[in-house]
Amino acid sequence: MTTQLLRNDNELAKLAGLLFSHPISEDSYKLDPLLIGLAAERKRLGERKFLVVLNQKVYDIDGLTDYVYLLDSFDSQSEAATDVEASAKSLYERQTAGPDKYGDSWRLESEGEIMFMSEPKASTWAHPIRVVYDKTYKLRAGTYDTKYSCFRAIGPFHGDIVSDQLFSFVNEPFELWSFFVDIGHAINKGSEPPLPQ
């Protein structure tokens, strides 16, 4: 599968290469699920103008874990803003509905507090992608357990959303790599991709 995808889609190979800190080869770590995830998300998100992204920062006794989720794409800024509100409400309700799988109960600590976000590779003023709407909240479950969820509508995109424009704006290669690999694994298993927690 990998050899065929690499030969048939130079753009996909280029995007995969942006997520590795070294040139890719057919034996690169988890290359198959990465390419499958990239192809699936490029098809799903298409060439719309705006994307809703969720950045999560989860602190526990072991430290910080960052996550990036590409939620959905839209043709208009207002549709993307509406989805930010709906997605944030839905996740918040799931997170605070009761104890999670570890027995922790999460409660709202603050809203509107945006934790450090990676800067685009190009300076913010020169980058063609902008944050056009955001919603952020912070949950706490204990002394060491905190979750920041930052929903952002970003755009406008010109061409495919899953592109070097997206990667340079989000500028979190490992988190994006992990997202696409998880999508590829889910497709290989015939299961649903992992949801934000």
Task: State pLDDT tens for residues 158-182.
Answer: 999 999 999 999 999 999 999 999 9
Distance (Å, rounded) from C-alpha 34 to C-alpha 26? 12
Distance (Å, rounded) from C-alpha 170 to C-alpha 181? 17
User: Token digits for 184?
Assistant: 């590829």
Asked whether the CA dihedral 105, 150, 169, 119 is positive or negative, the reply is negative
In order, the DSSP letters of 114-138 are: PPP-PPPSS-TTT-S-EEEEEEEEE
Distance (Å, rounded) from C-alpha 98 to C-alpha 142? 14
Confirm whether 162 is domain-assigned: yes
Distance (Å, rounded) from C-alpha 149 to C-alpha 80? 17
Could you give the number of structural domains in the chain? 1
Instruction: Quote the pLDDT of residue 145.
Output: 92
Domain around 106: 2-189
Confirm whether 194 is domain-assigned: no
Confirm whether 195 is domain-assigned: no
Question: Mean pLDDT over all residues of the chain?
Answer: 88
pLDDT confidence bin for 122, thresholds 50/70/90: low
Confirm whether 197 is domain-assigned: no
What is this structure's pTM?
0.90
Tell me whether strands 146-155 and 130-140 are parallel, antiparallel or unpaired.
Answer: antiparallel
Confirm whether 38 is domain-assigned: yes
Distance (Å, rounded) from C-alpha 42 to C-alpha 80? 18
> Which ranges constitute the DSSP H helices of the chain?
2-8, 10-18, 31-45, 77-96, 164-170, 173-189
